[in-house]
Amino acid sequence: MSVYTLAGRASLALATALFVALAGVSTAGAQERTAPRDAAELRLSFAPVVQQAAPAVVNVYASRTVQSRPVSPFFDDPFFRRFFGGPGQDMGRPRERVQSSLGSGVIVSADGIIVTNNHVIAEADAVRVALADRREFDAEIVLKDERTDLAILRVRGASETFPHIQFADSDTLAVGDIVLAIGNPFGVGQTVTQGIISALARTRVGVSDYQFFIQTDAAINPGNSGGALVDMEGRLVGINTAIFSRSGGSNGIGFAIPSNMVHFVVDAAENDGRVRRPWLGASLQTVSAEIAEALGLDRPSGVLVTVVGAGSPADRAGLKVGDLITHVGDTEVTDPDSFGYRFATRTVGSTTTLTVLRPRGEVKLEVALEAAPETTPRDAREISDYSPFAGTTVMNLSPAVAEELRLDGFDTGVVIAKIEPGSPAARVGLQVGDVIQTINGREVDSSRTLQRIAGSDPGVWRLEIRRGGRVLRIALRG
């Protein structure tokens, strides 16, 4: 079973929300959901919803220029070129070719702001969008956020008013609600599929840092990436992103990024041009059945605090090791992934309340929502000298750098931020996120120090590296 990023059927119960929506009745509360009562209700159509939402769903064409490999390895040899000149003299010259990818996108504002998946346009040099009415426009990339797998585009140079979709509150969704998926699967053209919400708050999908997805059985296929998942009022409830599949095609298990996270990233793009996430400054652990029993809980729930960084927002709020966080604001959290989603969608510069369970009872702590600070200048340095670090970019570690690299924000020292494929560093097994503690017994206290040591030739390299909470000791010949 594989998770694919994506560059069902209706039954009697599935007609419920459609009937309610077309009858003009609000579906906000679960108590208002009813089963269809006669055959006439089953003949109702999804067409009004599609007519409202589909014009705002676009095809996204991303392209980039790459250098093809030389046909001949002798191109730079003067002797070879002397005898193979003329029309064939360019046979070994690297040639440019264009790679293209196809996905979907959703217009979310009248001035042409478009949401799609980051993996659709990640390495694109140029992006073009095609509307449902076949008009095409160039688009500029406003923001790329790898951590949520979202990207924000803007139609370039257009002054008209575009059809767009309103955001729904994804927190009001319930399992069993009818949804429509709209996109361009396999490049066949705009397609609508229908299904239900199969599950909420799905984790362990593995396509972004924030594991909190809507699961649906609406058919989603390659090319649907970045397309719309809409409710029966034609509002955006999610951005279709990935599927579970053995073949690469739809097996009825698709995943969408909730609209509340999408809205958060869109607001960040329009206000700051970058995503600023709040930093807690604490490490959290899932509550297992054994831990729940030890704490006297009737079921595993909440997240357990295992580390609190000195001076962090968590520390200043009074959070302590051993605290059990049960709510962010008014919303219950059940594991570190749900906590990460709820906390990350809060606005930097404000505060939020954490409900914490302690042996003496429940307390509420007010936490300042602050971006992770760069307490030490990162001073990024590329290592090119012949050493085990050749091909790396190293930085001084700080909470901000740790946040970018998905590390705990309490380490200090020097971290590997980038490794060139095929480089000496890649061949000896170094990894992005490795914190270099010592080299031949010498403490590495800055990126400048590491660069200086890498320029030496000790004959044998003895490295002490911190990786994922473990310390590795490695010996290599020079």
Report the catalytic residues. Answer: 119, 149, 225
Q: Output the CA torsion sign for 50, 51, 56, 58.
A: positive
Q: Output the CA torsion sign for 241, 246, 250, 255.
A: negative
For residue 478, with 0-12 CB atoms within 10 Å meaning exposed, 13-18 middle and 19 or more buried, which class applies? exposed
β-bridge partners, 462: 475
Q: What is the CA 89 to chain-centroid distance, rounded?
A: 46
Torsion of CA 203, 206, 212, 215, to 10 degrees: -80
Cβ atoms of 215 and 177 within 8 Å: the answer is no
Residue with tokens 């079973």: 1
* 145 labelled binding-site residue: no
* 433 labelled binding-site residue: no
Q: What is the CA 456 to chain-centroid distance, rounded?
A: 40
* 225 labelled binding-site residue: yes
Cβ atoms of 342 and 296 within 8 Å: the answer is no
The 3-state DSSP class for residue 387 equals coil
Q: Output the CA torsion sign for 299, 301, 305, 306.
A: positive
Q: Which of 118, 124, 119, 116 is nearest to 99 (CA)?
A: 124
Residue with tokens 């998926």: 181
* 104 labelled binding-site residue: no
* 247 labelled binding-site residue: no
Taking every pair of Cα atoms in the chain, the longest distance, rounded to a whole number of angstroms, is: 89
Cβ atoms of 425 and 391 within 8 Å: the answer is yes
Binding-site entries for substrate: 119, 149, 223-225
Binding-site entries: 119, 149, 223-225
